[in-house]
């Protein structure tokens, strides 16, 4: 995908999906894929996305954001405060070790307030992080938030570096697994 196509997705997708949510009475449903929200919203669970005013966003609320190639549902852990940082927020998936790089508030489509369980629609509970995971989340939040308030460009640069470091071990693991599989007799 070219840079222009990615830019178009980042600018047009949120506008379109906000219009869809508004046309459906201020809410729409989707299925959450992935384990990034940990125990709060299990993989494959149906979620309800409600339109939300940026003035009502608070820490610990779960928002759905438009990423370049998909949508993510993560918890808000920091709202930018300074003049340049005010247009950003920092999110974290309960099942992830590190926070996400700062994202523009305009990429937020709505808020996840409920998920469908076998007993019907339930309110999404608070994050339940194990101590070491909480320490890594708080550390990455501190780095991002401090950098964001000082210089959003610096915070985004740190985000690119941390994303590369986060993905690198998976690449190493896949190469090792492929080498091991090559030695297995069929």
Distance of CA 96 to the CA centre of its chain: 10
Q: To which H or E segment does residue 79 belong? A: strand 71-79
Q: What is the largest CA-CA distance in the chain?
A: 62
Instruction: For residue 58, count other CB atoms closer than 10 A to its CB.
Output: 8
Backbone φ and ψ for 113, nearest 5 degrees, come out as -110, -25
Of residues 25 and 114, the one with the higher pLDDT is: 114
Measure the CA–CA gap between 114 and 48, rounded to whole angstroms: 6
Q: Residue 79 pLDDT > 90, yes or no? A: yes
Measure the CA–CA gap between 17 and 176, rounded to whole angstroms: 41
Measure the CA–CA gap between 103 and 159, rounded to whole angstroms: 10
Q: What is the pLDDT of residues 30-48, one digit of tens each?
A: 888 888 888 788 888 999 9
Domain boundaries, the chain: 3-183
Backbone φ and ψ for 103, nearest 5 degrees, come out as -125, 155
Residue 108, SS3 per DSSP: strand
Of residues 48 and 175, the one with the higher pLDDT is: 48
Residue range 126-135: average pLDDT? 88
User: What would the CATH number be for the domain defined by 3-183?
Assistant: 2.10.109.10
Q: What is the pLDDT of residues 115-124, one digit of tens each?
A: 998 889 999 8
pLDDT at position 73: 92
């Amino acid at each position: 995908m070219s840079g222009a196509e990615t830019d178009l997705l980042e600018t047009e997708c949120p506008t379109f999906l906000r219009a869809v949510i508004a046309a459906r009475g201020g809410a729409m449903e989707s299925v959450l894929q992935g384990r990034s929200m940990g125990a709060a919203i299990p993989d494959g669970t149906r979620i309800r996305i409600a339109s939300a005013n940026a003035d009502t966003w608070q820490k610990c609320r779960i928002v759905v954001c438009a990423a370049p190639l998909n949508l993510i549902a993560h918890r808000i852990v920091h709202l930018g405060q300074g003049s340049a940082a005010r247009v950003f927020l920092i999110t974290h998936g309960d099942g992830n070790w590190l926070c996400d790089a700062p994202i523009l508030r305009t990429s937020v489509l709505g808020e996840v307030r409920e998920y469908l369980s076998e007993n019907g629609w339930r309110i999404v509970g608070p994050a339940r992080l194990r101590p070491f995971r909480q320490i890594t989340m708080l550390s990455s939040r501190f780095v991002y938030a401090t950098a964001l308030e000082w210089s959003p460009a610096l915070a985004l640069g740190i985000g690119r570096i941390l994303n590369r470091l986060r993905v690198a071990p998976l690449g190493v693991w896949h190469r090792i697994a492929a080498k091991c599989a090559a030695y297995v007799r069929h």
